[in-house]
């Protein structure tokens, strides 16, 4: 009886992990399935070891595999530093601006003018906009319309770029609420600059971004107003 209870508990735990992997945002599912696979492997090894059908070396190798999987993200974060130390550099990411609201975090690539974003709150929390289908985006838009006007404008910017020429999403264009507070850190993020930025850098970044936000390139009044607000705050 104790073995049956133990097996039932293990099966239930694996089922929970499987449902969690299915519910994860698409870009995180692979990692969740890997965790599930490792969990199954660990359970199998423990059962075989307790039954005397696996050598201790196999148990040790399994433990090392699990430990490596857990440490891999940390090691990858140190890779650029190690590559630089040994004379190799990883390619640097293009400069981008970040505008955040209560529900969305949107990024604008300075080179291409392309918008990308992540959902911060709600049913699709953790999802990347690029992974969402049109029906899901419309559901997100309806949620934004109920919760936060700034998020509506941010999502509208993305929708107009992803589905050019379409107007049936229901997001009404409006000017940004420039009276809302913006910190220096947020202003620098909007312009894609760091703390060392000087006045000339701010003006140059503002000019470049305003060119990218031309209506013919998918820009809108909301993002333009945010960028103007950031420049005014930093230049003073």
Cα of first residue to Cα of last residue in the chain, in angstroms, is: 74
**Averaged pLDDT for residues 43-65:** 62
The pLDDT value recorded for residue 49 is 64
> pLDDT-based confidence at 220, cuts 50/70/90?
low
Q: What is the pTM of this model?
A: 0.60
Statement: residue 123 has pLDDT above 80: yes
What is the distance of C-alpha 97 from the center of its chain? 14
> How many Å apart are CA 15 and CA 153, to the nearest integer?
39
Helix, strand, coil fractions of the chain, as percent rounded to 5: 65, 5, 30
Phi, psi of 225 (to 5 degrees): -65, -40
pLDDT in tens, 98-107: 888 999 999 9
pLDDT in tens, 160-183: 888 877 655 654 444 444 445 788
């Amino acid at each position: 009886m104790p073995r049956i209870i133990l097996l039932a508990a293990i099966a239930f735990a694996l089922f929970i992990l499987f449902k969690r992997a299915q519910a994860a945002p698409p870009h995180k599912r692979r990692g969740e399935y890997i965790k599930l696979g490792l969990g199954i492997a660990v359970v199998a090894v423990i059962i075989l070891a307790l039954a005397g059908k696996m050598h201790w070396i196999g148990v040790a190798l399994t433990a090392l595999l699990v430990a490596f999987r857990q440490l891999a993200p940390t090691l990858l974060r140190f890779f650029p530093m190690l590559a630089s130390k040994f004379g190799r550099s990883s390619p640097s990411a293009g400069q981008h601006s970040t505008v955040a609201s209560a529900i969305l975090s949107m990024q604008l690539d300075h080179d291409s003018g392309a918008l990308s974003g992540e959902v911060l709150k709600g049913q699709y929390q953790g999802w990347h906009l690029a992974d969402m289908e049109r029906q899901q985006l419309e559901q997100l838009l309806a949620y934004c319309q109920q919760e936060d006007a700034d998020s509506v404008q941010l999502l509208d910017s993305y929708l107009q770029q992803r589905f050019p020429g379409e107007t049936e999403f229901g997001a009404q264009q409006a000017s940004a609420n420039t009276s809302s507070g913006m910190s220096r850190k947020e202003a620098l993020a909007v312009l894609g600059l760091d703390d060392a930025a000087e006045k000339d850098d701010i003006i140059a970044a503002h000019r470049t971004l305003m060119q990218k936000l031309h209506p013919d390139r998918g820009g809108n009044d909301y993002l333009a107003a945010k960028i103007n607000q950031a420049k005014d705050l930093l230049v003073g």
